[in-house]
């Protein structure tokens, strides 16, 4: 399967869909550089998007992968949390054995415990992801975050998420 790079569609996908389950980064007077109401920047394979709505600033980093035919395979979005980690979600493809959840693995490190899906929507199945500060540091130094699951026919399926630009994108969102 050939995966293409980022698509303009993802930025703040989950926030705009109302799926955000983590705190929004807000300030007394929400502003973006130059007084902009929205911002979009690319850091290698990651996109930073921010918007100000009702004086609340919402910022996230995201990545979307597609097949050559334009069909989305995977979308991932993260926001920094107060403990030095990140909170986010992934929209996974259909055809996975939902009861087994998804295991995360950074490069060739030990797999993290399986994460349960929260629900499935027409866009795909939603996987809430929390990475602590230790796993964020490993991700910032890593090459790929692997999402491992079983398909309904029992085959192991690994969806790699490139970590190129992850550190720079996360640093940028933290400063906005």
**Phi-psi domain of 140 (left: phi exceeds 0; alpha: psi -120 through 50; beta: other):** alpha
Architecture of domain 3-175: Sandwich (2.60)
Q: Write out pLDDT tens, residues 5-59.
A: 333 333 334 443 444 434 444 445 678 888 888 999 999 999 999 999 888 899 9
Q: Write out pLDDT tens, residues 63-110.
A: 999 988 988 999 999 999 999 999 999 999 999 999 999 999 999 999
The CA R_g of the chain, rounded to the nearest whole Å, is 16
What predicted TM-score, i.e. pTM, was given to this entire model? 0.81
Cβ-contact 78, 129 below 8 angstroms:
yes
User: By C-alpha distance, which of 64, 66, 30, 35 is closest to 47?
Assistant: 64
């Amino acid at each position: 399967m050939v995966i293409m790079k980022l698509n303009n569609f993802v930025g703040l996908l989950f926030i705009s869909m109302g799926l955000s389950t983590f705190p929004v980064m807000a300030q007394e007077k929400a502003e973006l550089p130059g007084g902009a109401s929205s911002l979009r920047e690319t850091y290698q394979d990651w996109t930073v998007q921010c918007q100000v709505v009702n004086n609340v600033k919402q910022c996230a980093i995201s990545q979307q992968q597609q097949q050559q035919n334009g069909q989305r395979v995977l979308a991932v979005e993260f926001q920094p949390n107060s403990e030095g980690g990140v909170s986010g979600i992934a929209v996974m493809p259909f055809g996975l054995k939902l009861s087994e959840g998804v295991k995360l693995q950074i490069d060739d490190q030990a797999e993290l415990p399986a994460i349960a899906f929260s629900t499935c929507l027409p866009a795909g199945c939603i996987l809430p992801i929390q990475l602590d500060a230790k796993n964020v540091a490993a991700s910032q130094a890593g090459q790929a975050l692997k999402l491992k699951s079983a398909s309904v026919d029992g085959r192991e399926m690994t969806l790699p998420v490139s970590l190129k630009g992850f550190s720079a994108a996360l640093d940028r969102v933290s400063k906005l």
